[in-house]
A = this chain, B = another copy of it.
């Protein structure tokens, strides 16, 4: 029964490239998208969270083992530079997620290396960026992630993401979006992998001010709270158990006995 009074340690990771290269994005997000996303989490969780940010261009992308060990939930936004994220860092994040770190995957991070590695599929979809209105409909009305948001959430302008979205069937389908053009998308999904909880939420293209949207911020904050676990961080490990000894596992010594 998680009653811990210590705040959730949240780290928002931003690719931070569009903001630097494209003036229209910089105008919407003058301090970077990650800063706006972080502000939205603080706006909703207040003292319940301690929110910081880091970006791709930091050494080791700002994701050293120490940093990850000090993070309860990692929020990931990436788009133009997925390929620049070092495989070694991806492996490190993967291990932390499987050990119990929460992960909130935003928008085009559906194609991030870390999400693909966790899902095992192409994570591809259909798309169009033509200022469609997105309506985000609640499918799971009592899920903690849907608390406090209207049904639907109305986003005036957004990139269209449409089905078929090549992901494993989610553990929980939370939101389905529609777009002006008539496409639909499973826009809010949860997945458990190892000891970690993952929430994918698709609204949030860099071309539109989606992370200034009150309801979108609330959903992300809800997702952060949901993805938090207070269990000790621990990677699942192969152990041998003697008959009638259920609690003392022994380390693995290889597939062929001496």
Chain A: residues with CB nearer than 8 A to chain B?
A: 1-3, 18, 21-22, 44-45, 48, 79-80, 98, 100, 108, 111, 117-122, 124-128, 130, 132-133, 135, 137-142, 144, 147-148, 150-152, 154, 160, 162-166, 168-169, 171-173, 176-178, 180-184, 186, 191-197, 221-222, 225, 229, 231, 235-244, 246-247, 249, 255-256
The reply to whether B192 and A168 form a contact with Cβ atoms under 8 Å apart is: yes
The reply to whether B178 and A193 form a contact with Cβ atoms under 8 Å apart is: no
A177 nearest CB across to chain B (Å): 7
Copies in the complex: 4
The reply to whether B21 and A126 form a contact with Cβ atoms under 8 Å apart is: no
Q: Which residues of B contact A221 (CB under 8 A)?
A: 1
**Which residue of B has the minimal Cβ distance to A22?**
B256
A130 nearest CB across to chain B (Å): 6
Q: Which residues of B contact A197 (CB under 8 A)?
A: 142
